[in-house]
Amino acid sequence: GAVVSQHPSWVICKSGTSVKIECRSLDFQATTMFWYRQFPKQSLMLMATSNEGSKATYEQGVEKDKFLINHASLTLSTLTVTSAHPEDSSFYICSANRDREGNTIYFGEGSWLTVV
């Protein structure tokens, strides 16, 4: 079964509203989680590294105020898309490392966001 769970799987929201996506590690603690974004027919691009108990580390070109990341516990990271616009419509997916070596990585199921 899944070891990393994302919620919601699908969400439709109106322009200007905010949407929160959750990423949970189900049976292990993850001090670090990663958030990726995938545009249709394109590859996954790393958006940010979510660090438990501290600020997220954002990749170049990703707006910190637009994509708020909170990693308040060892099993939960949240991504909030603020003031969403149609161009934010995308597939968002998180990952978490199960081991210290970083080579056992589990992905969530992903979340499809459509902004109308």
- Regarding 74 and contact with another protein (CB under 8 A), the answer is no
Comparison of 35 and 115: residue with beta carbon closer to another protein? 35
Comparison of 4 and 84: residue with beta carbon closer to another protein? 4
- Out of 1, 14, 40, 43, the only residue in the binding site for another protein (CB under 8 A) is 43
Task: Choose among 68, 83, 82, 84: nearest CA to 35.
Answer: 68
DSSP string, 53-72: TS--EEPTT--TTTEEEEEE
Comparison of 7 and 82: residue with beta carbon closer to another protein? 7
Q: Is there a contact between 95 and 106 (Cβ–Cβ < 8 Å)? A: yes
